[in-house]
Amino acid sequence: MHPAIQPGHTAVITGAASGLGLAAAHHLARAGLRLCLADVSESGLAAARDGLIASGIAAADVVTRVTDVADPAHLTALADLAYAQFGAVHVLMNNAGIQPGSSIFDAEGRWDRILGVNLFGVVHGSQIFVPRMIASGQPGLIINTGSKQGITTPPGDPAYNLSKAGVKVFTESLQHHLRGLPDAKVEAKLFIPGFVFTALTAHGRSERPAGAWTPEETVDFLFQSVARGDFYILCPDNEVTRRIDEKRILWAAGDIAENRPPLSRWHGDYGDAFATWLKD
């Protein structure tokens, strides 16, 4: 396993009250880590803490703080709490995210919030925690939650795509910086979930669609990939294999290299060519 993931170490997780963040909290608790959990939902955090304690984690080993990751002052207060409580941070999972929907001219007025939470929550979370993690001299792991929508950028939700494309670019730059540090013991990973059945994707459904993975399956895949040393943690689901993702990503990059129109995968003139490419 990664040297940051050791019994007695500390993990900070944002968006920890639900879905992937909550599943990661349970996974890391089973690995013996102490937890500092952040979310905008106070009741969600209380329920998450109760669930963790019921599953066996000591009450003293899990603290929570209501945090809006779009507000850097909240993230600073979260870091102060984690260091005051546990003395060090070894795993930072910048995971909080929203997907309320968006349109290109922002008639709904959501772009600032989507970028504030999904992108600047990750940027500021990293900028506030990582220098302290480096200064501690201890092993560290940063997991930033991106999305396939930030790589292939399908039409329909441009602000979400932009936020997740930003998470990809930021995390690549962060890892490039970290690996150049002398005696680097802190590294960053880009977590790219597939279709996961959570509050974000439920849209009123109570049953998991056949194509979706559970948060627990996805988080197991995340930590297996971390143990393998992967940077890009590209998760499959029950509909999309790694091979399909690879082809979609290569096609998207090919729009530039082949001088096609943007988002040509969804352009009528290129639909057949894309379908043929996918089959080959």
Ligand X SMILES: NC(=O)c1ccc[n+]([C@@H]2O[C@H](COP(=O)([O-])OP(=O)(O)OC[C@H]3O[C@@H](n4cnc5c(N)ncnc54)[C@H](O)[C@@H]3O)[C@@H](O)[C@H]2O)c1
Which residues are near ligand X by CB under 6 A? 14-15, 17-21, 38-41, 44, 67-70, 95-99, 117, 145, 147, 193, 195-196, 198-201
Interior/surface letters 256-280, b for 16+ CB within 10 angstroms, e for the rest: eeeebeeebbeeeebeebbeeeeee
CB of 200 to ligand X, least distance (A): 3
Report, in Å, the least distance between residue 226 CB and ligand X.
Answer: 16
Instruction: Tell me whether residue 160 is one of the annotated catalytic residues.
Output: yes
Residue 134 CB, nearest approach to ligand X (Å): 24
Q: How far is the CB of 53 from ligand X (least distance, A)?
A: 18
Which pairing describes strands 91-94 and 140-145: parallel, antiparallel, or unpaired? parallel
Residue of 83, 160, 232, 270 with catalytic role = 160
Q: Which is nearer to ligand X, 139 or 162 (CB)?
A: 162
Q: Measured from the CB atom, is 138 or 218 closer to ligand X?
A: 218
Helix (H) or strand (E) holding 92: strand 91-94
Tokens 């056949």 map to which residue? 210
Nearer CB in complex with ligand X: 151/186? 151
Which C-beta is closer to ligand X: that of 200 or that of 249?
Answer: 200
Q: How far apart are the first and last CA of the chain?
A: 36
Q: Which is nearer to ligand X, 17 or 62 (CB)?
A: 17
Cα–Cα dist 134/58, whole Å: 28
Q: Which of 68, 59, 63, 77 is nearest to 11 (CA)?
A: 63
Helix 242-257 with 271-279: angle, nearest 10 deg: 130
Distances in Å between the Cα of 156 and the Cα atoms of 75, 89, 171 are 31, 37, 24
Minimum distance from CB of 113 to ligand X (Å)? 8
**Eight-state DSSP code of residue 138:** S
Catalogue the active-site residues.
160
